[in-house]
């Protein structure tokens, strides 16, 4: 039997501070009722000093290593899906490497916005295919609160901070990642974007641009996200000859409960099979799928040989789906 990339340990780390919808009512013109009905979000976590992107990513990684029974020195590669590290250079992955003592790893970041974890897992699979004995940390870690315009009610109610991690390694037992299908469409970049820090080259400063906050045309993103995630999931299942009924658990990117409900309906999957934690954490971008996998795993929702379906959509646009035999 060929080698597959199996998840052998999971971990997550959420900042302690909870920001509720009623807290937001005091900050912008919004209401718990609006946020809950439009998004499904009730609370989100906000990082404080000492809970930077690399720090919470490192804690999630340590928890995943402990579950896997893998020592940090055994890790050959660290890939971190993120767009909000506290540093642009070095990468979040290098900071995490230092923090956890993964002295034998090489390490880099993957920027695919909210699809960052799926892209990273798919890339890890390519390394495992060529080096099956390799052990890889695949992490999603974000600090969106640092890039949110807290005066903009259109966006500030949506996002939260957090990190999730998986240790993956080669398995010859038929378990692991069966397939992914990933997509991008850069033509639509300006529907959902976040600028870099202001340019230090005066000729390249763009006065019309409006700070390095997350900017979003919510309605357009919503429309594309629903269609793109549904299409990628259906194509993936079709290409693998797997029916929606056979899937044991779906872990979708947690961006909006209405996007998730629409996906559930189109797949015809019962809603008990959809993992949802958006009410607790909001949209944590690349961390969201990884956090949800860890929670589902620790809650005993994933049994050997179960089919786990992941899907995500984010800025770029980037999107895709993955199917895993647990």
Compose the 228-247 pattern: x for residues touching ligand ACO by CB under 6 A, - for all others. --------------------
**C-alpha pair distances (Å), 214 with each of 1, 44, 189, 262:** 45, 16, 12, 25
In sequence order, which ranges of 203-318 are alpha helices (DSSP H)?
A: 218-240, 257-267, 278-281, 288-298
User: Between residues 139 and 192, which has the closer beta carbon with respect to ligand ACO?
Assistant: 192
The reply to whether 283 belongs to the active site is yes
Smallest distance from the beta carbon of 193 to ligand ACO, in angstroms?
Answer: 9
The reply to whether 114 belongs to the active site is yes
285 binds ligand ACO per the rule CB under 6 A = yes
User: Between residues 238 and 265, which has the closer beta carbon with respect to ligand ACO?
Assistant: 265
User: Between residues 101 and 218, which has the closer beta carbon with respect to ligand ACO?
Assistant: 218
114 binds ligand ACO per the rule CB under 6 A = yes
Which member of 3, 283, 297, 311 is catalytic? Answer: 283
DSSP per residue, 122-148: HHHHHHHHH-TT-EEEEEEEEEGGGG-
Q: Which of 140, 282, 315, 320 binds ligand ACO (CB under 6 A)?
A: 315
11 binds ligand ACO per the rule CB under 6 A = no
221 binds ligand ACO per the rule CB under 6 A = yes
What whole-number distance in Å separates Cα of residue 291 and Cα of residue 141?
A: 9
Which member of 253, 256, 297, 311 is catalytic? Answer: 253
What whole-number distance in Å separates Cα of residue 306 and Cα of residue 228?
A: 25
φ, ψ of residue 106 to 5 degrees: the values are: -105, 160
User: Between residues 171 and 254, which has the closer beta carbon with respect to ligand ACO?
Assistant: 254
The reply to whether 94 belongs to the active site is no
Compose the 180-219 pattern: x for residues touching ligand ACO by CB under 6 A, - for all others. ------------x-------------------------xx
Rg for the chain, CA atoms, rounded: 19
Secondary structure (H, E, C), 25-43: HCCCCCCHHHHHHHHCCCE
For strands 214-216 and 192-194, give the pairing. antiparallel
Q: Which residues pair with 311 in a beta bridge?
A: 252, 321
Which pair of tokens denotes residue 152? 């903009």
Smallest distance from the beta carbon of 216 to ligand ACO, in angstroms?
Answer: 6
How many positions of this chain bind ligand ACO (CB under 6 A)? 24
287 binds ligand ACO per the rule CB under 6 A = no
Give the footprint of ligand ACO on residues 46-75 (CB under 6 A): none
User: Which residue is it, tokens 């900017």?
Assistant: 215
User: Which residue is it, tokens 């199917």?
Assistant: 323
Chain contacts with ligand ACO (rule: CB under 6 A): 30, 34-35, 38-39, 113-114, 153-154, 157, 192, 218-219, 221-222, 225, 255-256, 259, 283, 285, 313-315
Q: Which residues are catalytic?
A: 114, 253, 283
């Amino acid at each position: 039997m060929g080698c597959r990339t199996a998840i052998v340990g999971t971990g997550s780390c959420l900042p302690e501070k909870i920001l509720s919808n009623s807290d937001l009512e005091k900050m912008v013109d919004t209401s718990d009722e609006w946020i809950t009905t439009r998004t499904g979000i009730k609370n989100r976590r906000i990082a404080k000093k000492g809970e930077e992107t690399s720090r919470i990513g490192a804690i999630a990684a340590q928890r995943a290593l402990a579950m896997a029974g893998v020592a940090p020195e055994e890790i050959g590669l660290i890939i971190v899906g993120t767009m909000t590290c506290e540093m642009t250079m070095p990468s979040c992955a290098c900071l995490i490497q230092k923090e956890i003592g993964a002295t034998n790893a090489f390490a880099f970041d993957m920027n695919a916005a909210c699809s960052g974890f799926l892209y990273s897992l798919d890339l890890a699979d390519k390394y495992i295919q060529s080096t099956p004995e390799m052990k890889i940390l695949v992490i999603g870690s974000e600090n969106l609160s640092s890039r949110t315009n807290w005066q903009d009610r259109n966006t500030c109610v949506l996002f939260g901070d957090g990190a999730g991690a998986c240790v993956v390694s080669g398995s010859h037992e038929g378990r692991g990642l069966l397939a992914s299908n990933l997509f991008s469409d850069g033509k639509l970049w300006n529907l959902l974007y976040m600028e870099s820090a202001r340019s230090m080259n005066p000729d390249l400063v763009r006065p019309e641009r409006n700070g390095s906050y997350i900017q979003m045309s919510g309605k357009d993103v919503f429309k594309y996200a629903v269609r793109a995630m549904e299409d990628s999931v259906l194509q993936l299942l079709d290409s693998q000859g797997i029916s929606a009924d056979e899937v044991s658990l779906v872990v979708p990117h947690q961006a909006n409960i209405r996007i998730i409900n629409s996906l559930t309906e189109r797949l015809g999957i019962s809603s008990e099979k959809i993992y949802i934690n958006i009410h607790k954490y909001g949209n944590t971008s690349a961390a969201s799928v990884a956090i949800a996998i860890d929670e589902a795993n620790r809650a005993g929702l994933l049994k050997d040989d179960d089919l786990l379906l992941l899907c995500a959509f984010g800025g770029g646009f980037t999107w895709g789906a993955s199917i895993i035999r647990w």
